Amino acid sequence: MTTTATYSIVGGDYDGAGSASKQLKGILKRIGVEPKTLRKVMIAAYETEMNTVIHAQRGLMKVAVDPTQVDVAVEDEGPGIPDVEAAMQEGFSTAPARARKLGFGAGMGLPNVQKNTDQFSIRSTVGLGTQVRFRIFLQPQASSAPAPNAVHVAPGLCRQCLRCLHACPTQAMRVRVDRPQVLAHLCVDCASCIEVCEAGALTMDVTDALPDSSEASVLVIPVSLLEQFGPDVDPAAVLEALHDAGFRNVQHSGAWETALRTAVEAYARVETGVRPVISPMCPAVLNLIQVRYPSLLGHVAPFLTPIEAAHEQLTVPHAVFVPVCPSQHTILRSPSLLSKIDVASASAMRRAVLERMGEPGGRHYDAAIREVPRNRGDVLHASGMRRVVKVLDEIENGLKADCGVIELFACSQGCFGAPVWDEDPLVARRRYERSLTWYRAQGKQYDGTAKAGAVRRIRPLEPRAGLRLDPDMRTAIEKLARIDTLTRTLPGRNCGVCGAPTCAALAEDIVLGRASISACVYLDHIPTEEAT
């Protein structure tokens, strides 16, 4: 069974550059290609496509995939290459100034294609154009079971607004039979669907009552909690209120985050030649990589996330954690033999602080305090799922190698942007950094007394089934062909009325037995093949 496709490439279209290789990537992920092989295909396809965008007027990428190999031919209409041998040398480039200004044309394109392929050829005629062909042999990805998730559905509250369908970064949401449904194999436990659900039909299943505490209890809070009470309440006042609520020993996640940053930067400098290194700061981002970007698992630094490290290192009789997203809640469901673990909702913790604080007070920030800029070296920060997906796409295409460490957060401004909070995430983060600067200037700290440290991951992260259509690649290709055929018969509205986020997602649901074509209200007829 072979699937074929042809994609147009427009010369000079830097905004649309990468669309052909992205569509090829979608095919390979859905048939279950092994991640390292997938990465090689993506680098070769992207570099070949970019050569056409930079140098030619137009071109075509022709693709053929079967369970054993992928063949790609890119033919362009352009000036051709006068000296092919020189063009195959690293650093040789004839890219125009515009391409160089945008960061392209460093002279690594064709050498990278040859380096990442099993068979490679190039032919070029001056004044007519260039043809690049390559072949890469495929290996199937190992099967894996769906990971647990902590997105809770309250069907009676759903208004069928369909916002969750379009917010999910992995198309894991469906809205059918008057209720949201979560496809567990695609869910990455982020809070994107919860953030847009104004009806409250999607939440975390966390009790809204405070757990009982004792002298032996340790409360672990996110740093974002400290800045949810307006500009006149500093972190010390919040910690004092928590003390009055019965939590004598309060730690916050900042200590483990700092330890992880230090360890990851040292790992990037000394232990690995991989660039960029992705910091495992956000568990939802790690889930996203396992599901949608398994070829990037080798870029993830081998440490536990801060909340996992805290869960691992605290050996006290009783620990209470305050998760702010489903991915953190899922981690805390893991049993601990040394500690009793309770989970408290962010709303309950915030309410406890407000009840004991009385009138807003505490130290006001000194107007003369100047924010000290952080010098964290060669570290790129990106937050919010849209931005995270864009950065991961670029890394998968072989870009961002000029960055040492990349720190990604599913929520805007990290946990400050979790939907459990009301404060503007940018404002809250700025307040936290200013207050942290002030405390350090006074020789004080409020990180608690825990000996926080980075914890090495014993078992490496593994790919998840995710987008894969079937454990058998041949069967997956057959299903993909049926999905593509059916998608072309659908109206292409991507409206979500059928309960799936796109027409292609509905076609996949039909082929996999999760839906009927009658779900599409815009079809005048049912195609004979699928109706039977």
Return the pLDDT at 266. Answer: 93
| pLDDT of residue 160 exceeding 50 | yes
- Which residues are registered as beta bridge partners of 406? 278, 380
Q: What is the mean pLDDT of residues 174-198?
A: 91
| pLDDT tens by residue, 489-501 | 999 999 999 999 9
| pLDDT of residue 371 exceeding 80 | no
Domain boundaries, the chain: 3-137, 151-204, 217-441, 490-531
Return the pLDDT at 465. Answer: 81
Query: Is 257:461 a contact under the CB 8 Å cutoff?
Result: no
Choose the weakest-confidence range: 133-137, 302-306, 311-315, 436-440.
436-440
CATH topology of domain 151-204: Alpha-Beta Plaits (3.30.70)
Q: What is the strand order of the sheet 129-137 is part of?
A: 3-10, 58-65, 69-77, 129-137, 119-125
Q: What is the mean pLDDT of residues 4-8?
A: 92
Which own/partner pairs from 522-525 qualify as long-range (CB within 8 Å, at least 24 positions apart)? 522/491, 522/493, 522/497, 523/489, 523/490, 523/491
Return the pLDDT at 530. Answer: 47
DSSP 8-state class, residue 37: H
| pLDDT tens by residue, 320-354 | 999 999 999 999 887 666 678 888 889 888 888 88
Q: Give the span between the Cα atoms of 200 and 188, in whole angstroms.
A: 19
Q: What is the mean pLDDT of residues 278-286?
A: 96
| pLDDT of residue 1 exceeding 80 | no
User: CATH homologous superfamily for 490-531?
Assistant: Electron transport complex subunit B, putative Fe-S cluster (1.10.15.40)
User: Which residue in 228, 265, 243, 254 sits closest to 307, CA to CA?
Assistant: 254
Distant-in-sequence, close-in-space partners of 524: CB < 8 Å, separation ≥ 6: none
| pLDDT of residue 100 exceeding 80 | no
| pLDDT of residue 140 exceeding 90 | no
Q: Give the span between the Cα atoms of 437 and 444, in whole angstroms.
A: 10
Q: Give the span between the Cα atoms of 161 and 154, in whole angstroms.
A: 14
Return the pLDDT at 367. Answer: 38
| pLDDT of residue 83 exceeding 90 | no
pLDDT band at 456 (very low <50, low <70, confident <90, very high): very high
Q: What is the mean pLDDT of residues 420-443?
A: 84
**3-137 has which CATH code?**
3.30.565.10
pLDDT band at 373 (very low <50, low <70, confident <90, very high): very low
Tell me the average pLDDT of the chain: 86
**Domain 3-137 shares a fold with domain 490-531:** no
- Look up the pTM and report it: 0.84
